[in-house]
Structure 1
Amino acid sequence: MEGAESFNFKLFRDCFASPLIEKSAQQPPGKSKKARGNGKMKSTSTPPTSLPQEPNDAEELAEFIDYITSEFFTSLPASLRTLNYTEWLNDSALQIYTPPLKSQVSSSLLNVLPPSINDSLVSYNFLPPHTTLEEFLTPVLNAYLTTLTTPPPPPSMSRNLATECEICSRSWIPLTYHHLIPKDVHTKAVKRGWHHEDQLQNVAWICRACHSFVHRIASNDELAREWYTIERLLGREDVRAFAVWVGRVRWKAS
């Protein structure tokens, strides 16, 4: 796995691990069962021979979680394995994955799972009595999709990541956040197809001097259409020249 799929696998594993860890902690000590699955893996992992019956058997439980997650995740459609917020928001076909999943969508995803998943969950006593596989796994899917379809944090929450002006690199002065797509053209930017809605709150943390300069060199429409990333702004010769100049401006501590 690479890129988005690798990231999503780790996220999916975390979502699947939660009910398994909770169930493992509730199981009384005793002899564990062996999996009845065929033992074939779609990854380099191999199914564990036994399930930990006490919560401190972390290594064995982790082995089982890796195995069962791989079996489940690699059975999902490719579009679901690589899904991200922007794709989900802007592709109506992907919005069938809006949580909580409709029963027909959940069933379509779970009906194609390999029998080894059900066999292993039953053998290891993870599937509660009178609970169907769909009832047990649908919350896992919903937890995974809820994380993927949650919008990124608002601009104010990104301030702690900025330590210097993103244009002039001065770190000893207060920073302000610049809406890379000016707020008063948000409606126009979406209507005219310049940007998707999830991009409207993109910001850059820059000093006041650079902030004022950016708004002097281009109108709000131009900023939205052409200069909507720091990389694009720094591609301008006048911005680079100003950054060099203002970077030399230092004042004494008050």
Structure 2
Amino acid sequence: MARRPKLFEAAPGSPAETRCQLCERAVRHTSRHHLVPREEGGRYGPTVDLCQPCHSSVHLLLTNKELARRYHTVEDLQRAEELQKYLHWIRRSRVERITNRRRRR
């Protein structure tokens, strides 16, 4: 039987601490997000480190075309109207993982 991992809260300045560049929370793991999606020509472009909930939500709420044309910096993503409700929630949350977030296409 698999045990659910405990919520992680790293002490400030500890070596295990990493920050999501979108929600700015201290998290255990981040993944690389291409600011311009690879499918839209951003394969070798700039990337940012996002926590799994933010990475998943960005791709759920915004299309690759929107990301390439309107939200190609982390500052643009932080101001995106489509993400405001989510960002307000996640910044107050200790969630490390969200499942079943992919939009059916």
**Shorter-chain-normalised TM-score: which range?**
0.5 to 0.7
Q: CA RMSD in A?
A: 2.2
TM normalised by structure 1 equals 0.29
Q: Percent identity?
A: 33
Q: Which residue identity is paired with 1:178?
A: H
Q: TM-score, normalised by structure 2?
A: 0.64
C-alpha contact 1:178 1:203 (8 A) present in aligned 2? yes
Select the structure of larger CA radius of gyration: 1
How many residue pairs are counted as aligned between the two chains? Answer: 79
Q: How far does the alpha carbon of each residue in 1:75-107 deviate from its partner, in whole angstroms, 9 at most, with x for none?
A: xxxxxxxxxxxxxxxxxxxxxxxxxxxxxxxxx
CA shift, 1:200, in A, is: 4.1
Asked if 1:205 is matched to 2:60, the reply is no
- Please identify runs of 4+ aligned residues in structure 1 that moved more than 2 A: none
Alignment-mate amino acid for residue 53 of structure 2: A
Normalized per residue, the structure richer in helix is: 1
Hey, what does 1:233 align to over in structure 2?
77
1:245 aligned to which of 86, 89, 97: 89
Q: Which residue of 2 aligns with 1:22?
A: none
2:31 to 170, 176, 180: 176
Counterpart position of 2:100: none
* SS in structure 1 of the partner of residue 66 of structure 2: helix
CA displacement, residues 147-190 of structure 1 (integer Å, 9 cap, x when unaligned) = xxxxxxxxxxxxxxx9311111111331111000111121xx7x
Extract unaligned runs of 5+ from structure 1: 1-161, 190-198
In structure 1, what is the Cα distance between the partners aligned to 2:47 and 2:58?
A: 13
Task: List gaps (5 residues or longer) in structure 2.
Answer: 1-16, 96-105
